[in-house]
Amino acid sequence: MTAPLRADLATVKVALGARSYDIVIGRGLVASLGARIAGLRPGARAAIVTDENVARYHLGAVEAALAAAGVASTRVIVPVGESSKSFRVFEQVCEAIVAARIERGDLVIALGGGVIGDLAGFAASVVRRGLDYVQVPTTLLAQVDSSVGGKTAINSGHGKNLIGAFHQPILVLADTAALDTLPVREFRAGYAEVVKYGLLGDAAFFAWLEANWRDVFAGGKSSGSFAREHAIAVSCRAKAAIVARDERETGERALLNLGHTFGHALEAACGFSDRLLHGEAVAAGIALAFAFSARQQLMPAAEAERAIRHLAEVGLPTGPKDIPGGLPSVDRLMDLIAQDKKVKRGMLTFILARGIGAAFVEIGVDQGQVRAFLSEKLAGR
Ligand SMILES: NC(=O)c1ccc[n+]([C@@H]2O[C@H](COP(=O)([O-])OP(=O)(O)OC[C@H]3O[C@@H](n4cnc5c(N)ncnc54)[C@H](O)[C@@H]3O)[C@@H](O)[C@H]2O)c1
Ligand SMILES: [Zn+2]
């Protein structure tokens, strides 16, 4: 499906039996949040979990939409950033939800980026042994990735996302106008995950992105185009289809990790700091996965170069050479890759590709070949 949407509204269904839900995508949708919630759960009250940035820009509109539909709400505001995915903040959020007397039949609303979605979703999964929740994602990354699929988590001292649960939302409402306040660097980082869907399984969508990415970045505010909504809808449809077939990542869902094995190692090497955002690390990781696939003779070099060219064109990093500051040695990077959860019994599992739109899970990638490839990329800095 590659034709731009005719309307500025799209609904993607996540088909998971009794736990099925809609992802609704469109500009200005937040105004309908209260009515949608009142329709899904008549009489429900809501605790809105958000961060300080998002509260400043968008909390007022969300509260007004709820009030207009008679949905009573309280707010729980946490500090900005990954450090809020901690036991300490998690405890505060759980206690605040209990204190607000949100009970079975009521709702948690996750209003924010992936940090808030993961934190509030996990709190919803355990408070009173499980509350319903609604995702209102406000970053591009959250709209195309983290709000869909029901993975929720906080971080452990041993690593990211190690304490969590599968808990599906009852509704995802992606208001594309929320992205107008997002810093362009954050938008661009989220765009790496959009490109990922094209590269992993939809060559026509990738070609559409090559032609239309400027409209996706601009949004419909001035251009009147629905390119942004289209890109988000296609991305959500791709993720929803994979999640419906493999909710708990026993197989195919691993394809969504394209670029993430190299990416996580680079992200960890930069200390999960502002030096390299998650999506930026994923872009570099995708570029490396494509270059490595070409090196393994899985696809022509020109095919990998085309994928990498698009990432570079939008301003995303495509390898160690684009990452500012020092990077650790190849040995350290190999350690980080081996620590990644995509390692099974000492064998490296990578998502490789036979071409644009043709990714596959490769179990048992030779560590020596990865090491040689990476040291070359590091030497090229
Ligand atoms: N559960 C999953 O399946 C899944 C998938 C991918 C990523 N994640 C998680 O998502 C997190 C990253 O998400 P993220 O990139 O959205 O980060 P984030 O939630 O930290 O948001 C990025 C920044 O943008 C700000 N922000 C959010 N919305 C805004 C808006 N509309 N206007 C202005 N500023 C806004 C935030 O305050 C923050 O400073 C990571 O913790 C990652 O582990 C989870
Ligand atoms: Zn990712």
CA of 114 to the centre of ligand 1 (A): 4
Q: Where are the beta strands (DSSP E) in the chain?
A: 9-14, 21-26, 46-51, 73-78, 107-112, 132-137, 151-156, 159-166, 171-175, 343-344, 347-353, 359-365
Can you tell me the distance from the alpha carbon of 182 to that of 197, in angstroms, rounded to the nearest whole number? 22
Here the tokens at position 211 are 């032609």
CB of 137 sitting under 6 A from ligand 1: no
Q: 306-343 burial, b if ≥16 CB within 10 A, otherwise e?
A: bbbebbbebebbbbbebbeeebbebeebbebbeebebe
CB of 196 sitting under 6 A from ligand 1: no
Can you tell me the distance from the alpha carbon of 201 to that of 355, in angstroms, rounded to the nearest whole number? 10
CB 219 within 8 A of CB 179: yes
Q: What is the DSSP letter of 142?
A: I
pTM: 0.95
- State pLDDT tens for residues 257-288: 999 999 999 999 999 889 999 999 999 999 99
Can you tell me the distance from the alpha carbon of 253 to that of 307, in angstroms, rounded to the nearest whole number? 22
- State pLDDT tens for residues 273-326: 899 999 999 999 999 999 999 999 999 999 999 999 999 999 999 999 999 999
Burial tier of 260 (Cβ tally within 10 Å: 0-12, 13-18, 19+): buried
Atom of ligand 1 nearest to the CA of 193: 6
What is residue 91's predicted lDDT score, i.e. its pLDDT? 98
CB of 318 sitting under 6 A from ligand 1: no
Type of residue numbered 138: T
Identify residues whose C-beta is under 5 A from ligand 2, the ion.
Answer: 282
- State pLDDT tens for residues 341-374: 556 666 788 999 999 999 999 988 988 999 999 9
Can you tell me the distance from the alpha carbon of 194 to that of 361, in angstroms, rounded to the nearest whole number? 19
1 has pLDDT over 70: no
Atom of ligand 1 nearest to the CA of 149: 3
Nearest CA, atom 2, ligand 1: 146
Is 193 tagged catalytic? Answer: yes
CB of 182 sitting under 6 A from ligand 1: yes
Which residues, in sequence order, are CB contacts of 236 under 8 Å at separation 6+?
Answer: 12, 23, 25, 143, 144, 148, 172, 174
Q: Please give the backbone phi and psi of residue 142, each rounded to the nearest 5 degrees, phi first.
A: -70, -35
CB 207 within 8 A of CB 326: no
Catalytic residue among 188, 228, 264, 342: 264
What is residue 159's predicted lDDT score, i.e. its pLDDT? 85
Nearest CA, atom 16, ligand 1: 113
CB 35 within 8 A of CB 186: no
338 has pLDDT over 90: no
Adjacent-strand bridge partners of 156 = 159
CB 26 within 8 A of CB 10: yes
